[in-house]
Amino acid sequence: MMTSDHHPSLEDQLDLLAREVRDAGVEMGLPYIAVSADIGSPEPMFDRDGRPFAETFFRWIDPELEYWKDRAFALRSTLVHSTRTCAEPFYFADGRLGSWRPNPVLQAANDPEEYTDARIRAAIVSPVHLPGGAIGAVVWATDKEIDVEPVFHREAEYLYALTLKFVATYHDARAIGPKGPAVHLTRREIQCLKWAAAGKTDAEIATIIDISLPTVRFHITNAARKLGVAGKAQAIHRATTLGYVGGRESG
């Protein structure tokens, strides 16, 4: 189905992207594919007919491992856990994880035995971190011995762009995540949230930035209202996912 301005519908785009994901795996010698639009959600990615992509477009090494039906799978899986550690594509080969650069934190997340148990001999994983804090991912894997490192260095940029398009289009098609453009916070609202995120009380924030206690509370309440959340804690979390409160900033 085409939209009125002759562009493919979101569902048509999803179908095309799912096929591209599948074809990329076949071409790389990594034909087994697992996908997630949000590793924090137990819901599988599904097609326009409500069927999981894992049962239609994609297949896995062990056909009896229906990971998309296992709500605790994301908590146990090293592959999934590593996407919380590394926001860029990485690969698994010879019992280790690698990326474009040395990444000791990524290595620390590795559990080679899990790959052996899952019959994974090599894999490329492409995570995507989306607005609102969701982490999606595509995994391309094989149970055969292949030299995956040069494949990774040749294809990683393309696979990352493909994963981003696939997962972001899915979020749009299913109306997942933030609605509308990001809100604008004032300098004072951001200051108050940053100091609150650093563990300062409202009274301490008032002293630090030299405003009254009621004014601090006004700014935090106003920021929460703009962000569409209730309370200071949720306002801090939402502002952090939107990049207003950096992990290394204060004041």
Q: Show Cβ contacts of residue 124 under 8 Å, excluding neighbours closer than 6 positions.
A: 28, 30, 89, 90, 91, 92, 139, 140, 141, 148, 151, 152, 155, 156, 159
Encode pLDDT of 205-227 as tens digits.
999 999 999 999 999 999 999 88
Range with lowest mean pLDDT among 47-56, 63-72, 82-91, 224-233? 63-72
Residue 249 pLDDT > 90:
no
Section 121-145 average pLDDT: 91
pTM of the model: 0.79
Q: Pairing relation of β-strands 90-93 and 32-36?
A: unpaired
Q: Which of the four pLDDT bands, split at 50, 70 and 90, describes residue 250? A: very low
What are the structure tokens assigned to 56, written together? 């239609």
The alpha carbons of the chain give a radius of gyration, in whole angstroms, of: 21
Q: How far is residue 97's CA from residue 219's CA, in Å, rounded to a whole number?
A: 45
Question: Can you give the pLDDT at residue 237?
Answer: 87
What are the structure tokens assigned to 128, written together? 């995507």
Question: Can you give the pLDDT at residue 236?
Answer: 92
Section 50-70 average pLDDT: 86
